[in-house]
Structure 1
Amino acid sequence: MTLTMFRAKLHRLRVTEADLYYEGSITLDEELLAASGILPYEKVQVVNVNNGARLETYTIPGAPGSRTVCLNGPAARLAARGDEVIVIAYAQMTPEEARRHRPRIVLVDEHNNPTEVREPYVVPPEALLAGA
């Protein structure tokens, strides 16, 4: 059995562009991808904080240092420039891997500059059951 676990996210990015006539995906600054551990061309979920829209797509690396967050193709209809979005990557893990897994969370400022990287401690289920 495998579990689908939250692996990494870029939290509250601001959309810088929306390109309806591009082939599709989300373009993200390579430095933001690297900070989060999300890979170019990896499948991600994008959640729009402003309007509640949720979509699945894949990442395309943008110019390093550009702080680009561009929704492309049909996804461009689900966000406007300035909207805040959360980009989430998931991974399939065995229960044993999931117990040891620590997701990576990258927080950004209003210009999409990383301000903090978190890798929260996850309490193993057996510790919870033992009352620890």
Structure 2
Amino acid sequence: MKIQVVKSKIHRVKVTQADLNYIGSITIDEDLMDASNLIEGEKVQIVNINNGERIETYVIKGERKSGTICLNGPAARRVAVNDIVIIIGYAYMDFELAKSFKPMLAFPDETTNLLK
């Protein structure tokens, strides 16, 4: 049996931009992607702490050390700049493997979005 578990998480990061006219996705600083084991094109869930919205989209690489967290396209209507969000990636894996699996978690500075 396979189950879906948390694989990656960027915990409490600040939205720096919201671009309604982009085709879609979330742009994430590449350092944060590496720290949380996310890759470009991967499906993620964004949980908005400020308003309770939950959004599914995919990742686009942002500039390293920029702190960029930008919701693009329709998702831009679900956030405001400076909202705090949690970004979660999931993976399917064998039930027994999932029991011992440890996700990659990143805890950036909420002011700068850079890794501590």
**TM-score bracket relative to the smaller structure:** over 0.9
| 1:84-123 superposed Cα distances (whole Å, 9 cap, x missing partner) | 00000000011121012001211111210112xxxxxxxx
Question: Which secondary structure does the structure 2 equivalent of 1:59 belong to?
Answer: strand
| Counterpart for residue 73 of structure 1 | 73
Q: Unaligned 5+ residue runs, structure 2?
A: none
Question: Which secondary structure does the structure 1 equivalent of 2:34 belong to?
Answer: helix
| Counterpart for residue 25 of structure 1 | 25
- With normalisation by structure 2, the TM-score equals 0.96
Task: Measure the CA separation in 2 of the matches of 1:37 and 1:106.
Answer: 9
Indicate the structure whose relative CO is greater, using CA pairs within 8 Å and at least 6 residues apart.
Answer: 2
| Counterpart for residue 13 of structure 2 | 13
RMSD (Å) for aligned C-alpha atoms: 0.7
Instruction: Using the TM superposition, give the Cα deviation of residue 13 of structure 1 relative to its aligned residue in structure 2, in angstroms.
Output: 0.6
Instruction: Using the TM superposition, give the Cα deviation of residue 17 of structure 1 relative to its aligned residue in structure 2, in angstroms.
Output: 0.2
Task: Measure the CA separation in 1 of the matches of 2:23 and 2:30.
Answer: 19
| 1:14-60 superposed Cα distances (whole Å, 9 cap, x missing partner) | 00000000000000011110011111110000000000000100000
In the alignment, residue 36 of structure 1 is paired with which amino acid?
S
Q: Unaligned 5+ residue runs, structure 1?
A: 116-132
Task: Measure the CA separation in 1 of the matches of 2:108 and 2:65.
Answer: 13
| Counterpart for residue 56 of structure 2 | 56
| Counterpart for residue 112 of structure 1 | 113
Identical-residue share of aligned pairs (%): 50
Structure with greater Cα Rg:
1
Structure 1 residue runs of 4 or more that deviate by more than 2 Å after TM superposition: none
